[in-house]
Amino acid sequence: MQIEKSSLARSVVDHITAMIAYWDKDLVCRFANASYLEWFGKSSEEMIDKITISELLGPLYEKNLPYIQGVLSGQPQTFERQIPIPSGGKRFTLANYFPDIVDGEVVGFFVHVADINEVKILQRELSKSNEVIKQQNLRLANFANVVAHDLRSYSGNLSSLLALYDLTADADEQKEIFGFLKDLSKAFSSTVENLSEAAKIQNFTTLQTEPCNLLQFFEVAKRTLHLQIVSLNATVSINIDPDAMVLAQPSYLESIALNLLTNALKYHHPDRSPSIEISSDLEDELICVKVKDNGIGIDLEKHGKELFGMFKTFNGNRDARGIGLFITKFQVEALGGSIEVQSKLGEGTCFKLLLVPSK
């Protein structure tokens, strides 16, 4: 009867998918179920009463030693581990060591190891999915900011031009203003089209880019801000290679150009006419764009770390919203580029962008 019970117990243990074993205090294997033997590619004759745990685990033994010492001191141990398998590769496991205590003495320990490889894979996939959702939410939030910020620029220009149109009775001046309105309308239509295209791709995990002519986007920004440029008696020189092409999402590049030029005009020095230089060059196989002005400048020691933060303003401009540079940095980095700034208070500012060229 005892033999039958022992045989039944062995059969039950061998049908358990988890790995079960027993090691004595000398770290010699005294029992291992079928799953344990199969995992390590051993036969019962090779394992039982012969092999030590250090021989079985090899290099893994040193990693597991603190847990082995812990269970031999009478404390249960639980830990995760990647274990190599005979067929090649590794699988994640969850190991439990339970001390076998007889008359107050630890005489060995039981081992229960569960294969959690599928669980780990699912956790990784879930983590990736969460990251995708996080990035999508960031892009959607940025997209909303871009729409509000860009449309606000056009709204301000439109209102100013209409006000000027109403104030003048001169036909030539009205014709000139109407020409500006037409340019503004074209730029606005282009912005809406680009934003519409951007809206279609917001749910994709990868930002859709295309070759964009860098010069064209800065020229559009200059035409869009013509009224501010004239009213401030500003000089805007664009020295960008006509053939310079970058990989970009059009609405992003349009917003970047508009924000940087708007920023240079907005923070002009009260004692001199604004002078803005926009140039391009090659640097480490990237296209370097510099937007340099002679404005009021920024105290980088004081504000440098939070310069690109959302809703951060530094110069007391009551019209500032602290969103333009935040959007610009987000967009530049989303395009695989980088942005940095050099500035001296009272002298001016230079923004330097590195963008990925279209090859």
- Candidate CATH numbers 3.40.50.2300, 3.30.70.2860, 3.30.565.10, 3.40.50.150; the one for domain 125-355: 3.30.565.10
Alpha carbon distance 152, 191 (integer Å) = 12
Q: What type of residue is 182? A: K
Supply the pLDDT for residue 92.
87
Per-residue pLDDT of the chain (359 residues; tens, 9 = 90+): 444 445 555 665 666 778 899 999 999 999 999 888 888 888 989 989 999 999 988 888 999 999 999 999 999 999 998 877 767 778 888 999 999 999 999 999 999 988 888 888 888 888 887 887 777 677 666 666 666 666 766 777 777 777 777 877 788 877 887 777 777 777 676 666 655 555 554 554 467 889 999 999 999 999 989 888 998 999 999 999 999 999 999 988 998 999 899 989 998 999 999 999 999 999 989 999 999 999 998 878 876 666 765 444 445 544 444 456 777 888 898 899 999 999 899 999 999 999 999 87
Q: Which residues pair with 62 in a beta bridge?
A: none
Supply the pLDDT for residue 5.
45
Supply the pLDDT for residue 327.
77
Supply the pLDDT for residue 311.
40
90-102 β-sheet, strand order: 29-32, 19-24, 105-115, 90-102, 77-84
Q: What type of residue is 86? A: P
Supply the pLDDT for residue 2.
41
Supply the pLDDT for residue 77.
95
Per CATH, 2-115 and 125-355 having the same topology is answered no
Supply the pLDDT for residue 141.
67
Supply the pLDDT for residue 168.
78
Contact 261, 288 (CB under 8 A): no
Give the pairing type, strands 286-293 and 275-283. antiparallel
- Surface-to-core class of residue 182, CB atoms within 10 Å of its CB (0-12 exposed, 13-18 middle, 19+ buried): exposed
Reported pTM: 0.48
Q: Domain extents for the chain?
A: 2-115, 125-355
Alpha carbon distance 192, 312 (integer Å) = 27
Supply the pLDDT for residue 211.
95
Supply the pLDDT for residue 172.
80
Distance from first CA to last CA of the chain, Å, rounded? 81
Supply the pLDDT for residue 35.
87
Fold of the domain spanning 2-115: Beta-Lactamase (3.30.450)
Supply the pLDDT for residue 308.
65
Which residues, at least 6 apart from 221, have a Cβ–Cβ distance to it below 8 Å? 254, 257, 258, 260, 261, 262
Which residues, at least 6 apart from 301, have a Cβ–Cβ distance to it below 8 Å? none
**Long-range contacts of the stretch 177-186 (C-beta < 8 A, 24+):** 180/226, 180/227, 183/223, 183/224, 183/226, 184/154, 184/157, 184/158, 184/224
